[in-house]
């Protein structure tokens, strides 16, 4: 299957296109010509449900419980550590709300999503080479088609940074489509990996000579990268975080096995999909519980016995904090973060549960009242007027969690309140205890994936956004399988790594 197939989902450009920010783009040059308007809206999955008015005392007690040393911070053997940051990368691709604050209630309908609610990698591609030319490489062939990679960059003090990095200005700020993808050295390098994947795909298309015009190469490459990334979301990310059973329920194979179906019970829209605040403000924040406090970035040399070299591990903060030049000591070997053939299983994420690691309670460079991420999540949920977990569970016909499952014995001051109405984010983290359920003989450890409420919200919104995007493979070519980059109908993050890093021709 040749790359030309990648054009199926695109609508041919017609006449002048007005790009975001009002720039006039000549015909044929706007990389997103003919697509839906780039911005999106937020909305609600359950508009009829009342807001959960969590009291300050309840929030205090939940935060204290999450930070408590009583909580076990345990590895999740099912989810490699890289999925935490892949999840964040996906989030930054589909949502960006810089406007809502923690200081006032928010009218959800008035919120603007500054990202397109599509898996289109606008965080990587920006608005294209005409509107954001600084994201593109104008010195390699074909000009303005590859994305810029930072190499031998010079900072404001004249120091040369040899490490391959995101492109940065002299002050070290990344020149990328979404500033949040520089928040940590891990997501910055994941962003870089997708830049490199795009550039390899461009090279392949250009060398193959089947596509001759630079803008056609860009379109074909961008579409191939997007569709392969979407495949990862559907086939690797969603099953990992919501569990195979929920993934199959929302994304069943067609009866004849020829196409991927999408079955949505709760996520409905009129014209274009939107981002439900129950997803962005609560359910999708499950990834915060997967964060480790330290990471092993490189695999130590092979050895045996206690003489083996041991990787010391690197603390997330301050060592892996972002918005700065990458240094040699934070360069990642990706087989430590994703399951790559031939390498030992990578370090894993933490269980999806209410145990949050210490560094997330004291974020660097945050104002004193915003340094606790769990507190911010809970307060944002109140401002967004999110419904309680119990009400959402009832709307989904799921049995509500018990007092014990909500851990309320450790929250005496707000036990009664939370038993009736627990903040949705907290509820979803508690609910993972039900995800695996009791084994025949012995109760298995919970938290390996999301439970029925959180899992359904996450699976339906991610799958729904893909189905509603007329340029996605799920909408425009559901039987499509990834073969153009040399894979045999499957594609995983391991393939991204190997292709982007030139380990596979």
Partner 1 sequence: MAARPNFTDVELDGNNVRVFGVSVEEDLSDLVGIQVFVSQPAEAEGEPARIASGVVPQKVSPWSAEFDKGDLVAGPAVAIGIETHSTPFSAITWAQPVDIEEK
**Is 77 near partner 1 (CB under 8 A)?**
yes
Q: Do the Cβ atoms of 376 and 46 come closer than 8 Å?
A: no
Q: How far is the CB of 401 from partner 1 (least distance, A)?
A: 22
**Is 245 near partner 1 (CB under 8 A)?**
no
Looking at beta carbons only, is 191 or 292 nearer to partner 1? 292
Q: Do the Cβ atoms of 57 and 426 come closer than 8 Å?
A: no
**Which of these segments, 156-164, 183-191, 302-310, 492-500, binds partner 1 (CB under 8 A)?**
302-310
According to DSSP, residue 461 is labeled H
Contacts of 34 (CB under 8 A, 6+ apart): 10, 11, 12, 13, 14, 17
Looking at beta carbons only, is 81 or 176 nearer to partner 1? 81
Looking at beta carbons only, is 71 or 501 nearer to partner 1? 71
Cα of first residue to Cα of last residue in the chain, in angstroms, is 17
Q: How many CA atoms lie within 13 A of 395 on its CB side?
A: 21
The single residue among 22, 48, 69, 256 that binds partner 1, judged by CB under 8 A, is 69
Binding track over 445-484 against partner 1, x by CB under 8 A: x---------------------------------------
Q: How far is the CB of 439 from partner 1 (least distance, A)?
A: 9
**Which of these segments, 249-257, 307-315, 397-405, 430-438, binds partner 1 (CB under 8 A)?**
307-315
The single residue among 1, 64, 310, 366 that binds partner 1, judged by CB under 8 A, is 310
For residue 144, which of 154, 135, 156 has the smallest C-alpha distance? 135
**Is 37 near partner 1 (CB under 8 A)?**
no
Contacts of 447 (CB under 8 A, 6+ apart): 74, 76, 289, 351, 352, 353, 432, 433, 435
Q: How far is the CB of 407 from partner 1 (least distance, A)?
A: 14
Q: Which helix (H) or strand (E) holds 206?
A: helix 185-208
Task: Looking at residues 336 to 355 of the shown chain, list those that interact with partner 1 (rule: CB under 8 A).
Answer: 344-345, 347-348, 350
Looking at beta carbons only, is 303 or 502 nearer to partner 1? 303
Q: Do the Cβ atoms of 103 and 85 come closer than 8 Å?
A: no
**Is 362 near partner 1 (CB under 8 A)?**
no
Phi and psi, residue 161, nearest 5°: -100, 110
Looking at beta carbons only, is 143 or 310 nearer to partner 1? 310
**Is 300 near partner 1 (CB under 8 A)?**
yes
Q: How far is the CB of 131 from partner 1 (least distance, A)?
A: 42
Sign of torsion over alpha carbons 187, 181, 11, 203: negative
Contacts of 446 (CB under 8 A, 6+ apart): 351, 353, 432, 433, 434, 435, 436
**Is 274 near partner 1 (CB under 8 A)?**
no
Q: How far is the CB of 366 from partner 1 (least distance, A)?
A: 22
Q: Do the Cβ atoms of 389 and 280 come closer than 8 Å?
A: no
* Residue corresponding to tokens 């594609």: 491
Looking at beta carbons only, is 148 or 411 nearer to partner 1? 411
Sign of torsion over alpha carbons 300, 445, 402, 396: positive
**Which of these segments, 66-74, 107-115, 134-142, 283-291, binds partner 1 (CB under 8 A)?**
66-74
Looking at beta carbons only, is 293 or 476 nearer to partner 1? 293
The C-alpha atoms of residue 227 and residue 469 are separated, in whole angstroms, by 12
Token reading at 467: 């189905």
**Is 367 near partner 1 (CB under 8 A)?**
no
Task: Looking at residues 420 to 449 of the shown chain, list those that interact with partner 1 (rule: CB under 8 A).
Answer: 442, 445
Q: Which helix (H) or strand (E) holds 82?
A: helix 82-94
Q: How far is the CB of 320 from partner 1 (least distance, A)?
A: 12
Contacts 24+ apart (CB under 8 A), 18-27: 19/127, 19/128, 19/130, 19/131, 20/127, 20/131, 21/127, 21/131, 23/130, 23/131, 25/128, 25/130, 25/131, 26/130
The SS3 assignment for 376 reads helix
Looking at beta carbons only, is 57 or 312 nearer to partner 1? 312
Q: How far is the CB of 164 from partner 1 (least distance, A)?
A: 25
The single residue among 140, 164, 293, 476 that binds partner 1, judged by CB under 8 A, is 293
Token reading at 23: 């720039």
Question: Number of residues in contact with partner 1, rule: CB under 8 A?
Answer: 32
The single residue among 26, 34, 252, 313 that binds partner 1, judged by CB under 8 A, is 313
Q: How far is the CB of 295 from partner 1 (least distance, A)?
A: 7
**Is 296 near partner 1 (CB under 8 A)?**
yes
The single residue among 7, 51, 71, 394 that binds partner 1, judged by CB under 8 A, is 71
Contacts of 442 (CB under 8 A, 6+ apart): none
Number of residues in the chain: 505
Q: How far is the CB of 189 from partner 1 (least distance, A)?
A: 18
The C-alpha atoms of residue 12 and residue 28 are separated, in whole angstroms, by 9
Q: Do the Cβ atoms of 352 and 448 come closer than 8 Å?
A: yes
Looking at beta carbons only, is 166 or 332 nearer to partner 1? 332
**Is 53 near partner 1 (CB under 8 A)?**
no
Q: What does the binding site for partner 1 look like in residue numbers (CB under 8 A)?
A: 69-75, 77, 292-296, 299-300, 303-306, 308-313, 344-345, 347-348, 350, 442, 445
């Amino acid at each position: 299957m040749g790359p030309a197939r990648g054009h199926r989902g695109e609508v041919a450009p017609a006449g002048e296109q007005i790009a975001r920010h009002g720039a006039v783009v000549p015909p044929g040059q706007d990389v997103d010509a003919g697509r839906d308007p780039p911005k999106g809206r937020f909305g609600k999955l359950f508009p009829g449900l009342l807001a959960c008015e969590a009291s300050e005392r309840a929030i205090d007690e939940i935060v204290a419980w999450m930070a408590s040393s009583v909580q076990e911070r345990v590895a999740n053997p099912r989810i490699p550590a890289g999925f935490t940051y892949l999840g964040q990368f996906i989030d930054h691709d589909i949502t960006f709300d810089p406007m809502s604050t923690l200081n006032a209630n928010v009218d959800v309908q008035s919120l603007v999503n500054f990202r397109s609610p599509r898996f289109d990698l606008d965080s990587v591609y920006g608005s294209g080479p005409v509107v954001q030319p600084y994201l593109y490489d104008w010195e390699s062939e074909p000009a303005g088609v590859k994305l810029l990679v930072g190499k031998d960059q010079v900072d404001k003090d004249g120091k040369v940074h040899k490490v391959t990095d995101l492109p940065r200005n002299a002050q070290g700020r990344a020149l990328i489509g979404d500033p949040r993808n520089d928040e940590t050295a891990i997501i910055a390098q994941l962003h870089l990996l997708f830049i490199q994947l795009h550039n390899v795909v461009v090279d392949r298309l250009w060398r193959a000579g089947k596509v001759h015009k630079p803008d056609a190469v860009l379109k074909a490459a961008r579409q191939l990268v997007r569709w392969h990334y979407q495949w990862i979301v559907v086939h690797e990310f969603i099953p990992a975080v919501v569990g195979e059973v929920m993934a199959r329920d929302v994304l069943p194979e067609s009866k004849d096995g020829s196409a991927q179906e999408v079955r949505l019970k709760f996520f409905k829209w009129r014209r274009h999909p939107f981002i439900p605040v129950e997803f962005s403000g609560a359910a999708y924040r499950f990834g915060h519980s997967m964060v480790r406090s330290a990471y092993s970035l490189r695999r130590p040399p092979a050895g045996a016995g206690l003489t083996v070299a041991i990787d010391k591990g690197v603390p997330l903060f301050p060592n892996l904090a972002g918005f700065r030049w990458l240094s040699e000591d934070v360069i990642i070997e990706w087989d430590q973060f994703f399951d790559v053939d031939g390498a030992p299983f990578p370090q894993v994420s933490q269980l999806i549960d209410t145990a949050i690691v210490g560094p997330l309670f004291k974020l660097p460079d945050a104002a004193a009242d915003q340094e606790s991420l769990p507190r911010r999540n809970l307060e944002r949920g109140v401002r967004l007027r999110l419904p309680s977990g119990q009400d959402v569970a009832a709307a989904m016909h799921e049995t509500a969690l018990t007092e014990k499952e909500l851990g309320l014995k450790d929250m005496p001051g707000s036990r009664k309140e939370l038993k009736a109405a627990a903040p949705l984010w907290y509820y979803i983290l508690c609910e993972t205890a039900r995800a695996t359920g009791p084994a025949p003989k012995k109760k298995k450890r919970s938290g390996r994936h999301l439970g029925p409420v959180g899992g359904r919200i996450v699976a339906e919104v991610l799958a729904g956004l893909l189905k509603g995007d007329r340029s996605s493979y799920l909408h425009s070519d559901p039987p499509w399988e990834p073969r153009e980059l040399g894979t045999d109908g499957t594609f995983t993050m391991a393939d991204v790594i190997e292709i982007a890093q030139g380990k596979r021709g």
